[in-house]
Structure 1
Amino acid sequence: MSAPVRRRTVALAAVLVALAVPVATAAGPAGAWELPPRDYATWHEYGAATAGGSPGPVVVAPGDIVWYADTLENEIVKVPAAVPAAVEHFRLGALAPGISDLAAASDGTIWFGDFLNAAIGRLDPATGDVTEYPLGGAFDTATSLTNGPDGALWFGDPSNGGIGRIALDGSITRVPDPAGAGVYGIAAAYDGRLWYTRDGLGSLGAYDPVTRDLDIVPVGVSGFTGLTAAASGGVWVGGIDTVVKVATDGTVAKRITIPAPPFGPVVPRHLVSADDVDLAFTDGDRGLGRVDLWGTVSFSRPPFAGSEPDRLGVTSYGSLWYSDRGRQTLGNV
């Protein structure tokens, strides 16, 4: 087990105090933290929980709890989707991490990849404690941290060519890729396997943590831009101007080419999936993209000047939450 670095933090709860008054909605002014309608007709935008902050990586935990990391303010913020005014701030202490992504573990803790300190961090919301587990190498990184079917957290391990696992006690093990591929995307699919992108090889790996079998699945994508488990089964993978849905048997169920002109190449990033929206992603030029169950692609952009939706999370009822890189805000639709 990597020796953990522990530090005590204070959780500052501001119950029933809004993060900020909503800047605007597409349907006109609304009450603070009004929930969005199910038809996605209304966009909502909220200021950062701490003035001057900038929401970054987002994850939606069980119970539809939205979490986001704010590196500028050195904190992780909890926003219950049902009562979003009941916000809590969790300061991360003196060792400021560079948070690449967030994951919610089965025991209620929040984990994050820390690329500045070559570590994986753990926040215990019950106590405010933050623990860091070094990855072992000075330049090691944990990418696309995800909650696995075995209760552990799994991550891409590009520095060592494969995937990694960190148990809830902080012990780290690694599974090498046969070709030493750099792994930047990993997702726990509903078949119990960990699927991951094999950078530069045009294929996915599908690893079974029970049998330890590994299948290589060609998908014909060069330059992976994202990966997520599909709520309807299988996985979605993104590439330049394309998204591909792969069934659990390894067959390509859908291959959707997204026309580039007149906006330039489409780069689908930060893919998420839910029952109501088979796939959602962000693109720097077109905003928020959606693919429905029939494979129809649509794009929309928040009605706020300079908006750039970046990181995505999705609730159990299909509401999309996003951090806005251009406006340094949090939004939902």
Structure 2
Amino acid sequence: MTSPSTGRITEHPVPGRGPYAIAAGPDQALWYTLEGSGEIGRLAPGGSPKAFHLAADCGPTIIAPGPDGALWFTESRANRIGRISVDGTVTEFGLRECGPYGITAGPDGAVWFTETTTDSIGRIATDGTVTEFPLPIAEAFPSAIVAGPDEALWFTMNRASAIGRIDLSGAVTLYELPTPDAAPVGITLGPDGALWFVEIAAGQIGRITVDGKISEHPLPDRGARPHAITAGTSDVLWFSEWGANRVGSITVDGVIDSVALPTPNSEPHGLTLGPDGALWVALEHGALARVVVAGE
């Protein structure tokens, strides 16, 4: 299959259905979830994609590097946490029915995840021991989660339109967003030491400092439906515009730009800075997009 290209963006078709989230692994490769076909994919830049099969209906969702040299991922429909080593060996850990979604390595050598249907944050040690911390709010729908610069985890609450902070003891602090019904989803640690997040319903990019100060940056297209966000090179962060078929960028000073994807209706979701210095984006239509960024 020919890879669509704009010169700046090249799409690389991958087998399986629905590339959703993507992460750079410790093996100089991109690892991604194939939510529609129940697989984990691997692509080394310049190589051929490979898929590792899970249960077809398990719903692998978010994937992130773990503290142990493996990749860890959520299985939202199967209510499991998965671990895949760089040689493709998969281990799965069962949870209660909780709809796990976001996942990240914590500063304590464990993996932390969100439970969308139980209003809880989970912690899983590398031996599979699970601890759960309930949130002091109902129907919050905790979504993405990331380690902050302050020995704590920060997460979005999609239905509560708030940002949460949980320390390693399980103590939770909530920060309500200025915009009602903003529906935050993705969150990442920015190069300025603040947490940056997307507001899918409001069409904005948000920023919160570790002391809880929030600022919001409206996108030129408020209907772009930003979904995921990641730190790029220098002072730039990148985000997917799921509703506009674009990839956007924002500097730490709030300067916003975007670039259109070459294939219509490609449904961009997760994105990460790759080992080759390019930005890689998971496209649900069946490809990974490689975006040349400044300085590559």
Task: Give the TM-score normalised by the residue count of structure 1.
Answer: 0.67
Is 1:195 the counterpart of 2:201 in the alignment? no
Contact 1:118 1:134 in 2 (8 A): yes
Aligned residue runs from structure 1 range 1-333, under 5 A: 38-48=44-54, 55-62=60-67, 64-71=69-76, 74-81=79-86, 83-85=87-89, 87-92=90-95, 95-126=96-127, 128-180=128-180, 181-210=182-211, 212-221=212-221, 222=223, 223-239=225-241, 240-252=244-256, 254-260=257-263, 264-294=264-294
TM-score (norm 2): 0.74
Give the whole-Å Cα distance in 2 for the aligned partners of 1:207 and 1:53.
33
1:119, 1:140 within 8 Å by CA — same for their partners in 2? no
- Inter-partner Cα distance in structure 2 for 1:104 and 1:229: 16
Q: Distance in 2 between matches of 1:292 and 1:51?
A: 33
Contact 1:238 1:244 in 2 (8 A): yes
CA contact (8 A) 1:232 1:278 kept: no
What is the CA distance between 1:146 and its match in structure 2? 1.2
Q: Kindly, what percent of the aligned residue pairs are identical?
A: 26
In 1, Cα distance between the equivalents of 2:160 and 2:174?
A: 9
Task: Decide whether aligned partners of structure 1 residues 219 and 100 sit closer, same or farther in structure 2, where only a CA change above 3 A counts.
Answer: same
Q: Distance in 1 between matches of 2:132 and 2:117?
A: 12
Give the total of aligned pairs.
251
2:99 partner letter: G
Please tell me the root mean square deviation across aligned C-alpha atoms, in Å: 2.8
- Partner amino acid for 2:124? L
* Aligned-residue offset at 1:54: 5.4
* Structure richer in strand, relative to its length: 2
Q: Per-residue deviation at 1:39?
A: 4.1
Structure 2 portions without partners, runs of 5+ = 1-41
Change (3 A) 1:295 1:269: farther
Q: Distance in 2 between matches of 1:153 and 1:112?
A: 10
Q: CA deviation at 1:167?
A: 1.1
1:27-57, Cα deviation, whole Å (9 max, x unpaired): xxxxxxxxx7854322222222x79855433
Q: Which amino acid aligns with 1:66?
A: L
> CA contact under 8 A between 2:68 and 2:126: conserved in structure 1?
no
**Aligned-partner Cα distance in 1 for 2:56–2:227:** 32
Distance 2:53 2:123 in 1: 26
Long gaps (5+) in structure 1: 1-35, 297-333
